[in-house]
Amino acid sequence: MTRDRSPRGRRGRDRTALIAASLTALSLTASGCVVVHGEREVLPATSKAEAAKALEEFTDAYNAADKAYDSSLDADHITGALADIDGARLKAGHANHPGGNPGHQPLELSDAEFTIPKKAGWPRWFVADATANKGGSARWLFVFTRNALSEPFQVAYLTLVAPDKLPEFKLDEDGWAEAVPAGSADLSVAPGELSEQYATYLKSGGSVFSDGVHTSDWRATRERQASKPGLARQYIDEPLTDGDYAPLALRTADGGALVFFTTRHFEKQTAAAGASVPTPGEDVQALTKGEIKQSLTLEFVSNEVALDPKRGSGSGGAQVSLLGRIQGLTGAQGD
């Protein structure tokens, strides 16, 4: 069952109508031919029917890839951060279980809702959120994106958020959502700057982000683990903002935005003289290059979803709240 957030008056519009509206139009004037570029037109990213089909196709491909531990089976349906995270998971799984996933449990989604922005230019994208048979009561948030009409929609971001943390989105009179530009100056932090700000916060702290599991708690955990008898840990955090890692933001009803963004993280474990790095699990070993002698450097990709408040809201300036984060190991190097 799905609940449609797209306009009632346009439910009958199918994918053909949207494609036709997006194509370059030609008109004759007294001075000759004038080209109107479809990529400049403000249009809904897709129809509700096509969004639902994209979610269904992703789920089928994701389950097939998970069952076989074969990343080629869902490669056409994922990109960006999710492709890095899930691709590495499947690679490790295949290395350790070449016959397939012995613990495979199909992902089942229900009660799906679609928030579709009306915008010009590429990428065109939309958000789907649904209840799943995994992850407890959390809603699964998928961001589908594509860079041309000839391409399929692919999931770039996947995060899990508690139902009561999901914001209300700003919708126009027809029910379309509003995409917020990466450089928007009316928010506490421009969406395009959130990845770098988060990386800086994890290193140095600050007041940009509110306390929570993915901010102050994570920094405290790192500090506790930084130095233990026989083993030291060092951390490096980097923004990821280009191409399919670009942040995507939806305007919320209160004037803020829900922002999806990506970061990369490194953790280097170095053993003291006479000690050794703890033996990692089989999945880490499957992704490790080199021989682990005195150090092991782990590389992670993380995708986050945050509530970015309207600039000037709240007393003393409002802080960005991290609602969810999914992180996966994407590589390792032994030395």
Which token pair is 149? 């009409």
| Claim to verify: residue 169 and residue 286 sit in the same structural domain | no
Please say which residue of 177, 212, 232 terminates a domain. Answer: 177
Please say which residue of 177, 210, 227 terminates a domain. Answer: 177
Which token pair is 291? 């021989």
| Claim to verify: residue 241 and residue 147 sit in the same structural domain | no
Q: Is 83 helix (H, G, I), strand (E, B) or coil?
A: helix
Whether the pLDDT of residue 105 is over 70: the answer is: yes
**One-letter amino acid for residue 187 of the chain:** L
**C-alpha span between 327 and 300 (Å, rounded):** 7
273-283 per-position pLDDT tens digit: 999 999 999 99
Residue 312: what pLDDT?
80
| Claim to verify: residue 200 and residue 157 sit in the same structural domain | no
| Claim to verify: residue 169 and residue 203 sit in the same structural domain | no
| Claim to verify: residue 146 and residue 268 sit in the same structural domain | no
Average pLDDT, whole number, for the chain?
Answer: 89
Residue 41: what pLDDT?
86
| Claim to verify: residue 74 and residue 3 sit in the same structural domain | yes
Please say which residue of 133, 149, 177 terminates a domain. Answer: 177
| Claim to verify: residue 32 and residue 104 sit in the same structural domain | yes
| Claim to verify: residue 305 and residue 212 sit in the same structural domain | yes
Decide the pairing of beta strands 109-115 and 32-36.
unpaired
Q: Nearest Cα to 310, choosing from 170, 211, 197?
A: 170
| Claim to verify: residue 156 and residue 233 sit in the same structural domain | no
What is the tally of structural domains in the chain? Answer: 2
Whether the pLDDT of residue 209 is over 80: the answer is: yes
21-61 per-position pLDDT tens digit: 333 332 222 333 333 344 678 999 999 999 999 999 999 99
Whether the pLDDT of residue 7 is over 90: the answer is: no
| Claim to verify: residue 100 and residue 143 sit in the same structural domain | yes
Query: Rounded to two decimals, what is the model's pTM?
Result: 0.87
**C-alpha span between 9 and 273 (Å, rounded):** 71
Range(s) of the domain holding residue 107? 1-177
Collect all residues with Cβ–Cβ distance below 8 Å to 96 and sequence separation of at least 6.
282, 283, 286
8-12, 75-79, 232-236: which range is least confident on average?
8-12
Whether the pLDDT of residue 14 is over 60: the answer is: no
Q: Is 115 helix (H, G, I), strand (E, B) or coil?
A: strand
**C-alpha span between 105 and 89 (Å, rounded):** 15
| Claim to verify: residue 144 and residue 284 sit in the same structural domain | no
Q: What is the dihedral of CA 37, 38, 39, 41, to 10 degrees?
A: 100
Higher pLDDT, 73 or 312: 73
Residue 39: what pLDDT?
61
119-155 per-position pLDDT tens digit: 999 999 999 999 999 999 999 999 999 999 999 999 9
**C-alpha span between 288 and 96 (Å, rounded):** 13
| Claim to verify: residue 137 and residue 192 sit in the same structural domain | no
